[in-house]
Amino acid sequence: MTETDGFRILLVYPNIGMSKMPSLAMGLLTAALKRAGITVALFDGANYPDEGAVHEERRIASLAYRPFDIRQTFAEVGNDLQGDFRRCVDAFKPDLVAFSILEGT
């Protein structure tokens, strides 16, 4: 038994315009934490609607990402970012919550 047994970390990827997938660093960090015996979960805010962000059609037109059915995406993740985050924390019961902070440009 190690000192990391049972330790839980919730990684949070924010809802940032033009960023639709977690960075490679998030994946590498997740792998390293799991290898150390830490239980890891990800709350991905990227697919929640953001009224201040660039509209989906402009993202597709600028080749930022491929077209997809946004209604299906939002139906899967919901429309309540804050409520879903609270429920995620309540269900996962992390010892530590780590937020990804990056410069969008």
* Average pLDDT score, the chain: 75
Task: Tell me, yes or no, if the pTM score tops 0.85.
Answer: no
Compute the distance between CA of residue 59 and CA of residue 54 in angstroms, rounded to an integer: 7
Q: Are 12 and 100 in contact (CB under 8 A)?
A: yes
SS3 content of the chain, % helix, strand, coil (to 5): 35, 15, 50
**Tally of domains in the chain:** 1
36 is in which domain, residue-wise?
A: 8-98
Asked if residue 3 is part of any domain, the answer here is: no
Distance of CA 50 to the CA centre of its chain: 14
Asked if residue 67 is part of any domain, the answer here is: yes
Compute the distance between CA of residue 67 and CA of residue 28 in angstroms, rounded to an integer: 27
Q: What is the pLDDT of residues 23-40, one digit of tens each?
A: 778 889 999 999 999 999
Q: What is the pLDDT of residues 6-21, one digit of tens each?
A: 899 999 887 665 555 5
Asked if residue 40 is part of any domain, the answer here is: yes
Percent of the chain with pLDDT over 70: 54
Asked if residue 103 is part of any domain, the answer here is: no
Asked if residue 2 is part of any domain, the answer here is: no
Asked if residue 57 is part of any domain, the answer here is: yes
